[in-house]
Amino acid sequence: MQFHYINKPINLSRTIISLLILILISSCSQKEIVPKDLNEEVLIPIPVSTVSTGQSFEITKNTIIFSDGDFEFVDKFVKEVKAISGNDIQIAPMSSNHSSGSIYLHLSELSNLDDEAYEMEVTSDYIAINANTEQGLFYAIQTLRQMMPIEIESGKQITNPIYIASGKISDFPRFGYRGAMLDVSRHFFDVDVVKKYIDYITSYKMNRLHLHLSDDQGWRIEIKSWPKLTKVGGLTQVGGGKGGFFTQDDYKNIVSYAQSKFVTIVPEIDMPGHTNAALVAYPELNCNKKDPSPKAYTGMAVGFSTLCTRNPEVYTFLDDVIKELATMTPGEYIHIGGDESHVTEKDDYIYFLNKVQKIVSKYGKKVLGWDDISAAKLEPDAIVQHWAKKENAQKAVEQNAKVLMTPATKTYLDMQYDSTTPLGLHWAAYIELDSAYIWDPATMIEGISESQIIGIEAPLWTETVTNLDEIEYMAFPRLIGHAEIGWSPKKGRNWDEYKLRLAKHEKRLTEMGIDFYKSDLIPRGSIF
């Protein structure tokens, strides 16, 4: 007893220390919730709906991703998280054993979700993503990436914890066709550049890449039954460089890479004009009396070449080309060009288009063509790509065809931003960032409304564009505005809000290593 009393003061201080330790332990185990506002996140394209709950989810080394499937893009995301945070987060099959602090990727069968739609709920305890398709999950991950620190783009290590803003996102696209086009004919770009472009467009939820594979300056796709197309016609480009071409294996490689990112490749063989490279390789397909034996062309003019539309051999040739191309192309469209055939007589042009459309249908594909093709009788499921004359697009819808919107004055990425832009052309317009963004596909052409439009595409013609840096400079940031026009609802989209979002997003573009155009219209300074 005595002993007890003697020690009493010591016991008291021990009790106090123990209490302090207890308080400390309990405050540590009760996770501190860092406030974050989902509405402050810089998301492009802007989701259909976001509701912030003001808290956040922390991605830690204990985070597990429970997934309804084994998805390549999830593995890639996990690698990216590891690169920046050092956290080796685990992926596990979906199970009923929920563990606190996890991410759930559900392939659901929710009747309210479109194929490309997703829903995401972020709480301080979990992130739950629902989509009916793998593609929907892929888009959710693209959104989640934009909610991550920008270093996710470069893989640079960070020391701060990763907090994801809490709330609910519900998202789906406005249009099914959200595309970009790359002209690999005027200048050739190899498989790696094309893949990089696919990476870029898919970060913004685009799902089509149209490849302009042939033109006067170069034929870029190997056709085994007509080998000189690439062996002769592939070896030139604008300015006289060595050109190049995709072997069929290269092309298949691009197609499957694109598929892994839910992109459909839309291959274009431009005809009957824009065919000088093919005519150099096979002069028997030519019957232009003014230019009986065409030479390789390295200039930038258009509208001077034509296939000999009344020569039956031309259709044997095209049957072979389209057959080989259709076999390598899982996507539904073959693009037949059809633009600027200025040296083809009108009757011959129509005769030609009727025959070519039938060949495309015979190989199970749908016809896509520049709006000039509406001069002909269109196949029932043909799509017309509006670029120049609104009358052409109107003629197409009169024939019940649907329209792909690519007005040159708004979407052409080869147009200069202003008169000082070192690259590009300006025959359609100078297109600053505001002009590229302030338009709407459904109100652009009288008589053509939303239901007649399959979507939008941003073409990059490359007469003046020679490498990836230059591609980036002309495409960014206009391209991501087009991605938003294709995905996000028309209501609520406005330039004054978008330019502030873009101002913040520029940091991410820099981190992505993109050499983009820094427009004076975008506010920059400490708050951005």
Q: Mind telling me the catalytic residues?
A: 340
Q: 282 or 387: whose CB is closer to ligand TNX?
A: 387
CB 270 within 8 A of CB 305: no
Q: 165 or 465: whose CB is closer to ligand TNX?
A: 465
Q: Pattern of binders to ligand TNX over 208-247, x per CB under 6 A? A: ----------------------------------------
- Does residue number 414 form part of the binding site for ligand TNX (CB under 6 A)? yes
We find the least distance from the C-beta atom of residue 89 to ligand TNX, in angstroms, to be 46
Q: Residue 7 contacts by C-beta under 8 Å, 6 or more apart in sequence? A: none
Cα dihedral across residues 487, 490, 491, 492: positive or negative: positive
Q: Pattern of binders to ligand TNX over 26-45, x per CB under 6 A? A: --------------------
Q: At what angle do helices 468-475 and 478-487 cross, to 10 degrees?
A: 60
The only residue of 461, 473, 476, 498 in contact with ligand TNX, by rule CB under 6 A: 461
Q: How far is CA 23 from CA 20, 28, 29, 30, 394, in A?
A: 5, 9, 10, 11, 74
Q: How far apart are CA 207 and CA 231, in angstroms?
A: 32
- Does residue number 175 form part of the binding site for ligand TNX (CB under 6 A)? no
Q: How far is CA 221 from CA 211, 232, 337, in A?
A: 10, 12, 15
Per-residue DSSP letter, 177 = E
Helix/strand number for the chain, H first, E second: 15, 17
**Residues between 463 and 522 that touch ligand TNX (CB under 6 A):** 463
Q: 171 or 414: whose CB is closer to ligand TNX?
A: 414
**Residues between 316 and 345 that touch ligand TNX (CB under 6 A):** 339-340
- Does residue number 387 form part of the binding site for ligand TNX (CB under 6 A)? yes
Q: Which two tokens stand for residue 334?
A: 């073959």
- Does residue number 302 form part of the binding site for ligand TNX (CB under 6 A)? yes
Radius of gyration of the chain from its Cα atoms, rounded to whole angstroms: 28
Q: 339 or 379: whose CB is closer to ligand TNX?
A: 339
We find the least distance from the C-beta atom of residue 459 to ligand TNX, in angstroms, to be 7
We find the least distance from the C-beta atom of residue 213 to ligand TNX, in angstroms, to be 13
Q: Nearest Cα to 322, choosing from 336, 311, 310, 332?
A: 336
Q: 56 or 276: whose CB is closer to ligand TNX?
A: 276
Q: How far apart are CA 215 and CA 276, in angstroms?
A: 7
Burial environment of residue 30 by CB neighbours within 10 A (0 to 12, 13 to 18, 19 or more): exposed
The only residue of 200, 352, 370, 417 in contact with ligand TNX, by rule CB under 6 A: 370
- Does residue number 375 form part of the binding site for ligand TNX (CB under 6 A)? no
- Residue 368: phi, psi to the nearest 5? -125, 140
Q: Pattern of binders to ligand TNX over 420-439, x per CB under 6 A? A: -----x--------------
Q: Nearest Cα to 334, choosing from 342, 345, 323, 326?
A: 326
We find the least distance from the C-beta atom of residue 431 to ligand TNX, in angstroms, to be 11
Q: 131 or 353: whose CB is closer to ligand TNX?
A: 353
- Does residue number 188 form part of the binding site for ligand TNX (CB under 6 A)? no
Q: How far apart are CA 340 and CA 7, in angstroms?
A: 101
- Does residue number 457 form part of the binding site for ligand TNX (CB under 6 A)? no
Residues that bind ligand TNX (CB under 6 A): 302, 339-340, 370, 387, 412, 414, 425, 461, 463
